[in-house]
Structure 1
């Protein structure tokens, strides 16, 4: 199983002409940068900066005390789907002071992945609320931090998720797990587009 340390990268074919955009959002320190890094076929663009004591007065570090770097703009990665279709991944910053960037990142997106740390479930509310207001399709992925396991029903109830919103477990450190999350999102979007009268978009 490939991990984030894997460095298998591929050049983009010159004939690729259709770019699909997915945004990865969620609370501070839930693994967005790690997910983009693990699935990208190119060395991802990262805007991580070292965290300083000054940030402790601004950002809530509850549950992420060991974190030493944070995204200050966005992460960017890429996956080639076939000869003409490319998936572009944008990882959004999680701190409240950077939320103003989210609407720009959402513009033109196919859909979004909401990454959740079930130990800090409240950090997911803003992302879900924002996506619902925009009408942008999304899936929820619970990142495995090795803590107590919660059932899908418990997580769905805690997040007040609509029944049609996919909820999956993942390990953002592994490529295969991250790819399964993205496949789930693409299939969800395709289902919404082919059955628009059954479920709200």
Structure 2
């Protein structure tokens, strides 16, 4: 049995917890706490340490999904959660361009932790005010080689597509490393 550790990261309220909850075959272990003040306008709780979910791909492969906290004050958890990861997903809220710069910074931080495959997921593509993926790619200054995928974190098929794209990249890297 092969296990693959995948980290799901991104800015506050980008959809990390929903993404993991959508596909996890176990109840997601979550360290959410009620939030107050300004952030409450967006949502009423936030991840303070991590989310953990699991999905069995087949008899030989299980994915462990670790969601990071999105708020900067909990970023000390990022490096801890990145240890041993074989890949990561950066979630970006397509409806909140004010978070794009932060998403880019988080992407660069995780690339510095480990040179593993990654994909970027443009979440909330089902919302009428969502930016187009091509426009987001420009705003995030993403190279055309970076897999940048439309996503809806509450839609199981959408989440599976993002996970599969990352898994293909991880497997390709493993094959290349073994050759």
The TM-score bracket by the shorter chain reads 0.7 to 0.9
Question: Which one of the candidate residues 124, 128, 144 is aligned to 2:103?
Answer: 124
Taking structure 2 as the reference length, what is the TM-score of the superposition? 0.88
- Partners of 1:175 and 1:153 in 2: how far apart? 23
Q: Which residue of the partner structure matches residue 141 of structure 1?
A: 121
Q: Does 1:112 align with 2:93?
A: no
Q: Which residue of the partner structure matches residue 80 of structure 1?
A: 56
- Partners of 2:132 and 2:71 in 1: how far apart? 27
Structure 1: unaligned runs, 5 residues or longer: 1-16, 197-201
Taking structure 1 as the reference length, what is the TM-score of the superposition? 0.79
Q: 1 or 2, which has the higher strand percentage? A: 2
Superposed CA offset, 1:129-165 (max 9, x none): 1123232221000111614343333211111112221
- Partners of 1:181 and 1:169 in 2: how far apart? 8
More displaced 10-residue stretch of structure 1: 82-91 or 129-138: 129-138
Q: How does 1:120-199 map to 2 (within 5 A)?
A: 120-133=99-112, 134-144=114-124, 146-194=127-175
- Partners of 1:40 and 1:149 in 2: how far apart? 26
- Partners of 1:67 and 1:150 in 2: how far apart? 21
- Partners of 1:121 and 1:66 in 2: how far apart? 16
- Partners of 1:135 and 1:128 in 2: how far apart? 11
Q: Which SS does the other structure have where 1:72 is aligned?
A: strand
- Partners of 1:25 and 1:191 in 2: how far apart? 22
Superposed CA offset, 1:98-155 (max 9, x none): 1111111111111001000132312302211112323222100011161434333321
- Partners of 2:46 and 2:149 in 1: how far apart? 25
Structure 2: unaligned runs, 5 residues or longer: none
Q: Which residue of the partner structure matches residue 19 of structure 1?
A: 3
| Paired positions, count | 172
